[in-house]
Amino acid sequence: MLRSLKESAPQGLTALRSANQHLIIVLAVFWGVAAFLSLVMNWTQFSASPTMLIRLLPVSLAGGFLCYLLAELIRRTRGQAWPKRLSATALGVCVAALVYSIVRLTFLAENAVGEFDRGMLGRVGQQWLTEVGLFAAWCGLALLLGRRDDAAATSNRPAMASRRSRIHRMLNSTDLPAPLMTGRNDGINPSTLWRFQLAFWLCNLFFTFLSSVAVVEELSNLWRNVIIESSGLAVTILIHVAVLRPTRQLDLPIRFGLALGSSMLATCFYIVVMWLMWFEVFPAGFSINGLEPRGWAGLTAIAPRWFVFNMPIFIAWSAIYLVLESFGRIRAQERQIFDSAVLAQEAQLKMLRFQLNPHFLFNTINAISSLVIDNRNDEAETMLGRLSGFLRFALQTSPNDQVTLQQELEAQALYLAIEKARFDSRLEVEHEIEPGVQRALLPSLILQPVLENSVKYAVSRSRSRVKVLIRARRLGDDLLVEILDSGGPGMPPSESTGVGLANIRARLDVLYGERAQLEAGPVDTGGFAVRIRLPIELAPEDDDAGGDAKHAHFDR
């Protein structure tokens, strides 16, 4: 329990820090858009007095502070009933709207230093009704963010199982980690971002240069366009770093709203840079509709039209950015799912291949013990060496490694020699190997369960000699390996559970799919036959396939 508390504490602090970061970013964009809309709605007043923009800054800061207090109120009432929580939020909205209305009229009134008269009370009431809607919209957004954080904090794997894909449920059943997006640049990596930025703004530079040439009819103004488009590139990088990347865990509708609000503010910066480069800092000497837009009056005269023309540029940038990020996130999830599936496959292969019959080890060790007791030390040492070589081969080859048929037969010869020492003349082994297939590759120890079944259910149950035939030949583009045992007269019926053959089928299915086949069943002359057919692949003659596993069959 103490360990779980220690592990959950950093996760809780990380989640709280992430939630606060999201709140601050959304708050900044929200009030940036609110200030922009206030500027548009009172355009005549702001265009007549440039100092009104300076007064708008403390008003926006006051509004942002009040919204932060409302978000804190919503967070502190998170565990309370919804009627009580909504009542507290509504009261907070009314108070915050009243305070903000007074601050706004105090700073942005045409006569800001006038006396507090009865007419101002009426304006406060009208402004209050307008600002209630603004703060109510913010509270709705804050509630949405809080609800998402609650869901992320309280969700567990069973509750989210219905929303996951089949591969997620498969990984969950095998206790393997499900794909999570936790990287610093997940979704869109730096190289993709810069390629997108350069391609987008170079295309925009090309079209703006053509339009400027059509208006000014001079090729020497290219440097102005380069500086203007560089400012667009810089402000979009700022949007990526300050807004979109830190909020990559939020839902897409919220992020699209943040991108749209950031695009509005970026457009304002972009048209100011255009105005400075063409008319104020480096005047080009041409006019618009017979007027040269110089000074504050010139900027306010051309800003509305330029905003409408340039806003789609940043909206297009935001849309392409979100599409690239979503595509990159899907690709990252696919890679993580593939890696997890590979881990699951390797774990399954290890489980299947190392599922050796414990009776084999028990009987072998018991036989060695009997030889030692009878002072047959040389035979005991020989059997122990064969057991060591066989187990060394099993451990030194990876589950999905391929060995040549010759190496596989040498490893199985160690196993059969151990069993022959136990059963003496009751076990006879023959090989019929077609020339040229010794270099055929097949999964390591794929024959072990079949031979083990022959020994367990044929040799050990018979009082007469049982012949085990191992046959291998090429059949078209496939390798056919057959293992047949002759059984024995008066043998009791087999009680095999089919685990060994099921393991072989599972390994062949994982490695080859439908290209491999396994057939097993009794033969008419008595005994049992197993046929394994898989695509043939020959190892080069000078290939040291198998590595150290090639020498694992040597006795000590």
> What is the pLDDT, as a whole number, of residue 337?
77
For residues 547 and 407, give the distance between their C-alpha atoms in angstroms, rounded to a whole number. Answer: 11
CA 202 to each of CA 158, 192, 227, 403: distance values in angstroms, whole numbers, following the listed order? 49, 15, 12, 55
**What kind and span of H or E run contains 484?**
strand 478-485
Highest mean pLDDT among 84-88, 166-170, 390-394: 84-88
> What is the pLDDT, as a whole number, of residue 217?
53
For residues 9 and 4, give the distance between their C-alpha atoms in angstroms, rounded to a whole number. Answer: 9
Do residues 60 and 199 share a domain?
yes
| Residue 114 belongs to some domain of the structure | no
DSSP state of 543: -
User: 3-state SS of the chain: helix, strand, coil percent to 5?
Assistant: 70, 10, 20
pLDDT at 549 over 90: no
Cα 109 versus chain centre, distance: 53
Burial class (CB in 10 A: 0-12, 13-18, 19+), 415: buried
| Residue 173 belongs to some domain of the structure | no
CA 286 to each of CA 300, 313, 545: distance values in angstroms, whole numbers, following the listed order? 18, 25, 78
pLDDT in tens, 217-267: 566 778 888 898 999 999 999 999 888 888 887 888 888 888 988 998 899
Query: 122 falls in which pLDDT band (50, 70, 90)?
Result: low
Average of pLDDT values for 419-442?
A: 87
Do residues 501 and 377 share a domain?
yes
Higher-pLDDT residue of 170 and 23 is: 23
| Residue 435 belongs to some domain of the structure | yes
**3-class SS of residue 399:** coil
Which of 414, 443, 435 is closest to 511 using CA atoms?
A: 443
For residues 259 and 29, give the distance between their C-alpha atoms in angstroms, rounded to a whole number. Answer: 9
pLDDT at 347 over 70: no
Highest mean pLDDT among 225-229, 314-318, 506-510, 540-544: 314-318
> What is the pLDDT, as a whole number, of residue 170?
44
Dihedral, CA atoms, 8, 13, 15, 21, nearest 10 degrees?
-170
pLDDT at 534 over 60: yes
pLDDT at 446 over 80: yes
Query: 393 falls in which pLDDT band (50, 70, 90)?
Result: confident
- Return the structure tokens found at 427: 């076990």
* Count of domains for the chain: 2
**3-class SS of residue 495:** coil
Do residues 282 and 394 share a domain?
no
| Residue 158 belongs to some domain of the structure | no
Highest mean pLDDT among 26-35, 120-129, 343-352, 512-521: 512-521
Residue recorded with tokens 């329990």: 1
Do residues 363 and 340 share a domain?
no
Q: Where are the beta strands (DSSP E) in 332-421?
A: 402-404
Among positive and negative, which fits the CA dihedral 135, 311, 306, 243? positive
> What is the pLDDT, as a whole number, of residue 173?
47
- Residue type, position 141, single letter: L
> What is the pLDDT, as a whole number, of residue 433?
92
> What is the pLDDT, as a whole number, of residue 200?
93
Do residues 53 and 136 share a domain?
yes
| Residue 498 belongs to some domain of the structure | yes
pLDDT at 183 over 50: no
> What is the pLDDT, as a whole number, of residue 432?
92
| Residue 180 belongs to some domain of the structure | no
Average pLDDT of the chain to the nearest whole number? 76
Do residues 56 and 140 share a domain?
yes
pLDDT at 313 over 80: yes
| Residue 55 belongs to some domain of the structure | yes
pLDDT in tens, 479-531: 999 999 887 655 554 555 566 788 788 878 878 888 899 998 888 777 889 99
Do residues 127 and 263 share a domain?
yes
For residues 431 and 412, give the distance between their C-alpha atoms in angstroms, rounded to a whole number. Answer: 12
> What is the pLDDT, as a whole number, of residue 399?
59
Residue recorded with tokens 């498969």: 170
> What is the pLDDT, as a whole number, of residue 162?
41
Do residues 303 and 238 share a domain?
yes
Do residues 72 and 127 share a domain?
yes
507 half-sphere exposure, CB direction, 13 A CA radius: 29
Do residues 342 and 362 share a domain?
no
> What is the pLDDT, as a whole number, of residue 490?
56
> What is the pLDDT, as a whole number, of residue 148?
62
Range of the domain at 523: 358-538
Rounded to two decimals, what is the model's pTM? 0.54
Which of 284, 251, 229 is closest to 141 using CA atoms?
A: 251
Average of pLDDT values for 415-425?
A: 81
Compute the residue count for the chain: 556
> What is the pLDDT, as a whole number, of residue 535?
92
Average of pLDDT values for 91-116?
A: 72
Query: 197 falls in which pLDDT band (50, 70, 90)?
Result: very high
| Residue 79 belongs to some domain of the structure | yes
Lowest mean pLDDT among 7-16, 95-104, 196-205: 7-16
pLDDT in tens, 353-382: 555 556 567 767 877 887 788 787 888 888
Percentage above 70 pLDDT, the chain: 73
> What is the pLDDT, as a whole number, of residue 254?
83
Higher-pLDDT residue of 55 and 384 is: 384
Last residue of some domain: 314, 346, 378? 346
> What is the pLDDT, as a whole number, of residue 550?
41
**Which domain CATH number covers 402?**
3.30.565.10
CA 472 to each of CA 195, 359, 460, 480: distance values in angstroms, whole numbers, following the listed order? 56, 28, 25, 6
- Return the structure tokens found at 311: 């806003």
Do residues 371 and 473 share a domain?
yes
Lowest mean pLDDT among 44-48, 77-81, 372-376, 460-464: 44-48
Lowest mean pLDDT among 5-14, 23-32, 272-281, 539-548: 5-14
15 half-sphere exposure, CB direction, 13 A CA radius: 15
Do residues 339 and 363 share a domain?
no
Average of pLDDT values for 287-308?
A: 76
